Structure 1
Amino acid sequence: MIVKLLLMNMLVILQHQMEWIMLLMNKLVILQHQMNWIMLMLHVVEKRRMEMRLRYGTQMNMEAWLGSIKMKNMKIVREEGTSFPYILIS
């Protein structure tokens, strides 16, 4: 009888340990998904930074190319919703 109770207690303990292991595995899966989201966000941010550098470089090249035009005809404009100013020639 005592042996039977001990075995049942051991089974209950093993069951709880298995539940803990499953919870830890679920946490690892959640962490993996969070890492994937973080990597995706970093990728988006880096892509935007590259676009900013390309756009800024294009603007600087344009200013050099249009150097012969009088500066009074040029003004830098920033529209609402854009993150970069651009050159407007009037």
Structure 2
Amino acid sequence: MESFFGFAINIIITIYLVIDSKKYGKSPVLWGILGFVFGAIALGIYLIKTDRKVIGWIVTILSIIGYIAFILLVGLAILIAMAGFS
């Protein structure tokens, strides 16, 4: 269920970037691919590039913090699994 939620968010971000990039004269194909692959980080960078800097920086920083937290949690889970629960 969680993977479906993440996939759905990336699809929504991709659709938004493709539609909105045409308004600002940006390449919709490029921003669509970036939005699908990188998700919220690409959205934040796009918002910064289109002069919506405050919300762009907020989205970028929060997504980077989220990715770092996810990596740390996975690393902690691997460490606990390798060390055992004793």
Q: TM-score range by the shorter chain?
A: 0.3 to 0.5
- Name the structure with the higher helix share: 2
So what's the TM-score if we normalise by structure 2?
0.38
Where is the strand percentage greater, Structure 1 or Structure 2?
1
TM-score, reference length from structure 1:
0.36
Over alpha carbons, which structure has the higher Rg?
1
